């Protein structure tokens, strides 16, 4: 399985990968660990693997199923209690009746129960019936900080996955991947402070960053390269002309990092900077030839230098459009 966006927890990842290759993923998991330990990340990866339509390593991150899960819009991945409120018996019953409606798109339906420890006994009993009698295509991921507060009958029907805090080095590696634009010292300090609970460090650093439009548009640039439509490229380049030079410079910087990621991916090396949101675009770009990627990286690097030497936004956008269309 492809679980690298979950930091640390190597034994658990190996266990899941072996299971997926062998008898296949289980239909119910109890994912436990302290707040910030990666429960949601793991639930997202598992649900994507379950609806992934590619036969290669799952979740591929590239197929429509994976993209919808990572975008939070897959109709067959149902979140229960995501708002942090207690899960009521009504919600558990609703999940039960919904489970008997066949999947919309894929072969499976995945139900993610957040804060499962906050379910009262009637709600847990309704869930238990679903775990025992639900259709074979339905899978259940129960997320909890305190597995001991769930009924023994529920626990016995789920496979336990316990997340543990990551080492400072693992935390720093992951933070460098997610926040390449922040100073190294800030990431280092956050990695030390979080005590291995990466989610806490991420929340802290998210408060410090101002991604602006550049992050989103760098991803768009890679999609355009992979899509090869001259018209889309032209429309997009023109839309950048209303930006400030500083914003275009940031866009070029981020694009260069993602292009290098695409090259790394092609070589089978590990990706250093792409976030889960950026990964599909990087994967699409990795399907281009190495020559094309290298020439694009060269172009972006040149434009970055031009920007530093006071080229104006119009010149930068023009250079970008000409360079993309030349390939």
Point out which residues bind Zn ion (CB under 5 A): 52, 54, 60, 63, 66
Around 215, how many Cα atoms within 13 Å sit in the side-chain half-sphere? 15
Around 150, how many Cα atoms within 13 Å sit in the side-chain half-sphere? 26
Residue among 39, 34, 108 at smallest CA distance from 75: 108
Q: What is the rounded distance in angstroms from the CA atom of residue 245 to the CA atom of residue 16?
A: 46
Proportion of the chain in helix, strand, coil states, percent, rounded to 5: 55, 10, 35
Provide, rounded to whole angstroms, the least separation between the CB of residue 64 and Zn ion. Answer: 8
Provide, rounded to whole angstroms, the least separation between the CB of residue 107 and Zn ion. Answer: 13
- For Zn ion, the closer of residues 46 and 52 by Cβ is 52
* Cβ-count burial 8-38 (b if 16+ within 10 Å, e if not): bbeebbeebbeebeeeebbbbbbbbbbebbb
Provide, rounded to whole angstroms, the least separation between the CB of residue 113 and Zn ion. Answer: 23
What 3-state class would DSSP assign to 49? helix
Residues constituting the chain: 327
For the chain, helix (H) and strand (E) counts, in that order, are 15, 5
Residue among 129, 130, 126 at smallest CA distance from 111: 130
Provide, rounded to whole angstroms, the least separation between the CB of residue 263 and Zn ion. Answer: 22
The residue whose two tokens read 């008997």 is: 100
Provide, rounded to whole angstroms, the least separation between the CB of residue 282 and Zn ion. Answer: 14
Provide, rounded to whole angstroms, the least separation between the CB of residue 49 and Zn ion. Answer: 8
Provide, rounded to whole angstroms, the least separation between the CB of residue 60 and Zn ion. Answer: 3
Contact 48, 21 (CB under 8 A): no
- For Zn ion, the closer of residues 39 and 68 by Cβ is 68
Compute how many other C-beta atoms are within 10 angstroms of the C-beta atom of residue 130. Answer: 24
Q: At what angle do helices 230-239 and 313-326 cross, to 10 degrees?
A: 170
Q: What is the rounded distance in angstroms from the CA atom of residue 295 to the CA atom of residue 226?
A: 14
Provide, rounded to whole angstroms, the least separation between the CB of residue 281 and Zn ion. Answer: 15
- For Zn ion, the closer of residues 42 and 92 by Cβ is 42
- For Zn ion, the closer of residues 157 and 219 by Cβ is 219
- For Zn ion, the closer of residues 37 and 47 by Cβ is 47
């Amino acid at each position: 399985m492809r679980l690298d966006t979950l930091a640390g927890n190597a034994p658990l990842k190996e266990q899941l990968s072996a299971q997926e290759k062998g008898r296949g993923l289980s239909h119910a998991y109890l994912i436990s660990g302290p707040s910030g330990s990666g429960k949601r990340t793991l639930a997202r990866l598992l649900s994507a693997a379950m609806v992934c339509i590619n036969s290669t390593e799952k979740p591929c991150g590239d197929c429509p199923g994976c993209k919808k899960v990572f975008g939070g819009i897959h109709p067959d991945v149902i979140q229960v209690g995501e708002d942090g409120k207690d899960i009521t018996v009504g919600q558990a019953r609703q999940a039960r009746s919904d489970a008997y409606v066949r999947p919309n798109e894929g072969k499976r339906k995945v139900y993610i129960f957040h804060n499962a420890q906050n379910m009262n006994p009637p709600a847990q009993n309704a869930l238990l019936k679903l775990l025992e009698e639900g259709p074979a295509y339905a899978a259940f991921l129960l997320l909890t900080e305190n597995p001991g507060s769930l009924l023994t009958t529920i626990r016995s029907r789920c496979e336990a996955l316990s997340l543990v805090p990551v080492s400072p080095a693992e935390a720093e590696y992951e933070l460098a991947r997610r926040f390449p634009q922040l100073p190294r010292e800030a990431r280092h300090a956050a990695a030390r402070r979080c005590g291995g609970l990466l989610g806490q460090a991420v929340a802290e650093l998210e408060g410090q960053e101002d991604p602006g439009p550049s992050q989103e548009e760098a991803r768009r640039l890679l999609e355009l390269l992979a899509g090869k439509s001259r018209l889309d490229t032209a429309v997009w380049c023109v839309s950048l002309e209303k930006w400030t030079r500083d914003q275009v410079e940031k866009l070029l910087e981020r694009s260069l990092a993602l292009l290098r990621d695409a090259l790394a991916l092609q070589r089978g090396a590990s990706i250093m900077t792409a976030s889960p949101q950026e990964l599909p675009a990087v994967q699409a770009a990795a399907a281009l030839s190495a020559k094309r990627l290298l020439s694009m990286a060269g172009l972006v690097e040149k434009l970055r230098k031009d920007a530093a030497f006071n080229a104006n936004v119009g010149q930068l956008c023009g250079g970008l459009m000409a360079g993309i269309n030349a390939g």
